[in-house]
Amino acid sequence: MGPIKAIKIILILMLPLLIFLSVLNLTSFDESFYTREFSEQKVSENVPDAKSLHQKVMDFLKGGASQPPEGFNEKEKQHLIDVKRLVSISTILLYILLFIFAALLLASAFIIKVNNYLSNFIGRIFLIGGFLTIFLAILLFFLISSDFQSNFESFHTMFFKQGTYTFEAKETIVNLYPEQLFMDLGIRISKWVVITAAVFMLIGSFFIFGSKKNK
């Protein structure tokens, strides 16, 4: 396998991860989403200071505060610390992948040199990578829709220690962020991943068409 073919495969596989991480980062901190969800789920009925407490949680997760806000018990605070750690890791991973993706594209440009071939090369990465991303997004949507509770549990077992993410119905964290909210967030992420991937596929098609036209 030549270096260009190897780079192409790596970039195609990286694109879905880049799109998912980017969309996850943007949608997870979208205040308009939480405002709408809190209203629909009637969160304020169980947590009177829901809006203020949520803003403090977001501030903590973004790194604006060093400690979880008051209003949670020690187990809930520890879970928020674990979530913040996961958010930090995903953000760092996103920047690393972006750097590698850009570096590999730049390296490809130096190797290929011919504009037509380079346009076709980039176009195929965007087109195939976008298609793969949509396939994974549809799979995620199916998992959320078919058995959300079981898959939500599986997600937590992958990233959190057993027993650190289960809470009683009366605890603040499950009333502030009900299960339905996470289900809606997962669906929203799937939707925006599909839209973003479709844009990449469209751009990729233009690159491929342009390279053939200029031959």
| pLDDT at position 212 over 90 | no
For residue 134, name the pLDDT band (cuts at 50, 70, 90).
Answer: very high
CB-neighbour burial class of residue 210 (10 A; exposed 0-12, middle 13-18, buried 19+): middle
Are the beta carbons of 38 and 50 closer than 8 angstroms? yes
What is the rounded distance in angstroms from the CA atom of residue 108 to the CA atom of residue 120? 12
Contacts of 151 (CB under 8 A, 6+ apart): 143, 144
pLDDT tens for 61-85 read 998 888 999 989 999 999 999 999 9
Instruction: For the chain, give the number of residues.
Output: 215
150-180 per-position pLDDT tens digit: 877 777 788 788 777 888 888 999 999 998 9
Environment class of 162 (CB within 10 Å of its CB; exposed 0-12, middle 13-18, buried 19+): exposed
Which pLDDT score, from 0 to 100, does residue 211 have? 67
What is the pLDDT at residue 214?
59
- CA dist 11 to 32, 100, 129, 169, Å? 33, 9, 8, 44
pLDDT at 138: 92
Average confidence (pLDDT) over 100-109? 91
Name the domain count of the chain: 1
What is each CA distance from 105 to 9, 109, 130, in whole angstroms?
12, 6, 16
Host domain of residue 153: 3-213
- In this prediction, residue 53 carries a pLDDT of 94
